[in-house]
Structure 1
Amino acid sequence: MYQIVDSFKSYLSVLGYSSTTQSMLPACIRDFLEYGQYSSIGEIQPVDISMFYEWLYMRPLKRGEGALSEMMISHYMYALKVFFSWQLETGAIIRNPVSVLKFKRPGRGHREPLTVAKIQTLFAAAATCREHAMLHLFYSCGLRRSEAVRLQLSDVHFRQRLLYVRSGKGDRRRVIPLTDRVAVSLEQYVLQERGKARYTGTAFMLNSKGKAMRGNSYVALLKSLLRKAGMRKDISPHYLRHSIATHLLQSGMSMEYVRDFLGHKCLESTQIYARTGSHQLQVL
C-alpha cells in the first residue's frame, strides 16, 4: 500500500515540484494512510478525510509539546488534494473524495518587519564574521533559508559584486547585486573564518563544527545573536528577508525590482511587504 507514496513522490518530481515539496507532501500522505489503515485507495470516502482533518487538530506534535499549526494542517489538505487529483488522472479512482469538501483557510499571521534601527542593533551585536555574513545573507541579500542552505562558494563573486541564487523557490534563478560593504563582509568571512575549518565541501557557510550550515544551524545562530542584542527570540531568518523587502519599498524602489530581488513569481507575493511610512533605507 505504501509503495504508492514512493510513486507519488516520483510524480511530484516529474512535475517539477521543489525538493522540499517532494518530501513534505508524500510524508503527509503517509500519515494519512497510517491513520486510516486503508486496504485500498478506492475505498476512501469524503467522511474518512473529514475525520482525518478533525484528528489533525487534536494530534500532538511528534517532537515537543503542543499541536499542529493551522498552516501545517493546510499543508496536509493540500497534499491530499494533489494526491487524489493524481489518482483520478491515472484512473486509479473514479471519484475524487476531496473534491466535495471545503476546509478552513489558515489565518495569515501578521509579521511586523524590523525597523532599520533594530537591524542596526543586530549588526552591532554581531561579533564574528560568520554572524555578519549570516545577517547579510538574510537581510542585505534577502535570501530564503533554503537558499542560504544551498548557497555555494562559487555562487558568490566578490569582485563582480554579485551573488547567484541557482535554485530558488520553484527552481527560479536570480542574480543579487552586492554593495561594497556586503561583498567585503562576505569575503572577510570566507578568508578569516571559513578558511580555518577542515572542510572539503563547497557550501558557502559553515557551522561551529566546520560543517555545512543547515536550516536549524542558521536559526540557532540567529537566536544566539538575538540574545546578545537583547531582542525578542521569535524573530526568524524570514523576518530579515521581510524587513529588507519592506525597507526597499519604503525607500522608493519599484515593486518590480523588489519582486526580482526576492525571487517572487508574481507581484501579488511582493505586495504583502508594501507598507506606508517615511523610513529610508540605510545600506548596511
Structure 2
Amino acid sequence: MKNLPLHTPGFQRLVREFSRHLRRLGYNPSSCKSQPSSLREFLHWLEQQGITDVESVRPKHIKEHYQYLLERPNQQRVGCLSTSTVVQHLYTLKLFFHYQETLGTITANPISGLIFPRPVSPERTVLTVEQVKQLYSACETLREKAMLAIFYGCGLRRSEAEQLNISDVQFRNQLLYVRQGKGKKRRVVPMSGQVARDLQEYFYRERSQYEKKQDEDSRQAFLLNVNGHRMRGGDYGRKLKLLLRKVNLPQHFSLHHLRHSIATHLLEGGLSLEQVRDFLGHNSIETTQLYTRISQSYLATQTHA
C-alpha cells in the first residue's frame, strides 16, 4: 500500500530515509519499493492509533499490527494476505527498528524480543531435464533460447537478468559477469558451450531486429523486447508462460523455477555444494543446502517415473 497517506512529517521523512538506507545496503530494486511500502502501511496504522513517533511504539503495538495484517484483505486478489507477505512485512519492521536502534533514535527495540509463528514453506518444485528440453524445443526465436540460457543455463535471478548488458557476456571465454547480484555481490558464471552458442546466435543473428530505441540503456542491454527496450521481469515472465503453454507444462513454473532446476541438475550431475553455491551467487552454503533436499525429492520422482 505505497499510496497510503501519512500526515505526520516525521513519518514521511522516516520512509524516505529508510528507502535510501535499503539502497545503500544493496537491496534489489523490487525490495527498495516493497519494503518502504510495508513501512508506510505500519506508520499509517500507527497514526490511526494516535501514535506519531516511533519512540512510543511498544511490543504490544507490533503484535496488534501483526494481527491486523493477518486479517487485512488482499488488494490484488480475493482473500487475506499470504503468509509470505505477512512475513515480509515483519522482516521490514525488524530492519527498520534495527536501523533506528543503530541511529540511536529509539532507546529500546520493540520487535527484538518478539517471536512469531514460523511459516510452513511449500516444497520447492523443479523441472525435469526432459521438461527443460521440451521448453527449448518450443522456442521459435533465438531470443527465447537466449532467455532459457540466461535463467536455466546460467541460473540468473530475475533482477540479474534485467541488468545484463552486452559487455557482461564474453562468448570467447564462455563467461558471463553478474555485476550486481543480491546484496551487490559480483560473480562470474561459467557458460557451457551450448549456452554460449545460444547467446551468441541471438546476439549476432537476431538482436538487431529489436534495435528500435537509441537511448544509452537500450544500446547497452543484452536482451531487448519488441519495443527495443531492455527486457524486464514481466517480459521474461510472459515469454516463459507462453513456452509452458506450448508444451502443456504447469503454469505455476516461474523464472525462479529455472534457477532451482539448474541447481538441482548440477548437484545430480556431481558438482559440489561449494561449486553450486558460487554458480548461484549464494552468500552461505546453508542456502545452497536447500537444494540437496530438492535433489533428493527430484531423484525419488525420477526413480519411480
Gaps of 5+ in 2: 1-10
Residue 158 of structure 2 corresponds to residue 145 of structure 1: yes
Q: Distance in 1 between matches of 2:83 and 2:226?
A: 34
TM-score of the aligned structures, taking structure 2 as reference length: 0.86
| Equivalent position amino acid for 1:199 in 2 | K
Within-5 A mapping of 1:219-230: 219-230=237-248
What is the percentage of aligned positions where both structures have the same residue?
A: 44
Deviation at 1:279, TM superposition (A): 10
Residue 283 of structure 2 corresponds to residue 265 of structure 1: yes
Residue 173 of structure 2 corresponds to residue 160 of structure 1: yes
Q: Distance in 1 between matches of 2:172 and 2:113?
A: 57
| Equivalent position amino acid for 1:244 in 2 | I
Give the direction of change, closer, same or farther, for the CA distance of 1:34–1:148 in structure 2 (3 Å limit).
same
Residue 8 (structure 1) aligns with: 18
- Select which of 142, 149, 153 maps to 1:136: 149
Secondary structure in 2 matching 1:185: helix
Q: Distance in 1 between matches of 2:213 and 2:206?
A: 12
Deviates more, 1:144-153 or 1:29-38: 29-38
| Equivalent position amino acid for 1:60 in 2 | P
Give the direction of change, closer, same or farther, for the CA distance of 1:14–1:170 in structure 2 (3 Å limit).
closer
Deviation at 1:19, TM superposition (A): 4.1
| Equivalent position amino acid for 1:136 in 2 | A
Residue 21 (structure 1) aligns with: 31
Secondary structure in 2 matching 1:272: helix
Deviation at 1:9, TM superposition (A): 2.2
Residue 265 of structure 2 corresponds to residue 247 of structure 1: yes
Contact 1:141 1:176 in 2 (8 A): yes
- Select which of 148, 155, 174 maps to 2:187: 174
Residue 5 (structure 2) aligns with: none
Q: Distance in 2 between matches of 1:176 and 1:192?
A: 23
Task: Deviation per CA, 1:196-221: give whole Å up to 9, x if none.
Answer: 12133211112232221111111111
Deviation at 1:54, TM superposition (A): 1.2
Deviation at 1:236, TM superposition (A): 0.4
Residue 67 (structure 1) aligns with: 80
Contact 1:251 1:279 in 2 (8 A): no
Residue 84 (structure 1) aligns with: 97
Residue 124 (structure 1) aligns with: 137
Residue 256 (structure 2) aligns with: 238
Within-5 A mapping of 1:91-110: 91-110=104-123
CA RMSD of aligned residues (A): 1.9
Deviation at 1:18, TM superposition (A): 4.1
Residue 213 (structure 2) aligns with: 199
Deviates more, 1:64-73 or 1:33-42: 64-73
| Equivalent position amino acid for 1:83 in 2 | F
Contact 1:133 1:189 in 2 (8 A): yes
Secondary structure in 1 matching 2:276: helix
Residue 44 of structure 2 corresponds to residue 34 of structure 1: yes
Runs of 4+ displaced beyond 6 Å = none
Q: Distance in 2 between matches of 1:24 and 1:143?
A: 21
Contact 1:256 1:267 in 2 (8 A): yes
Secondary structure in 2 matching 1:176: strand
Secondary structure in 1 matching 2:176: strand
Deviation at 1:254, TM superposition (A): 1.2
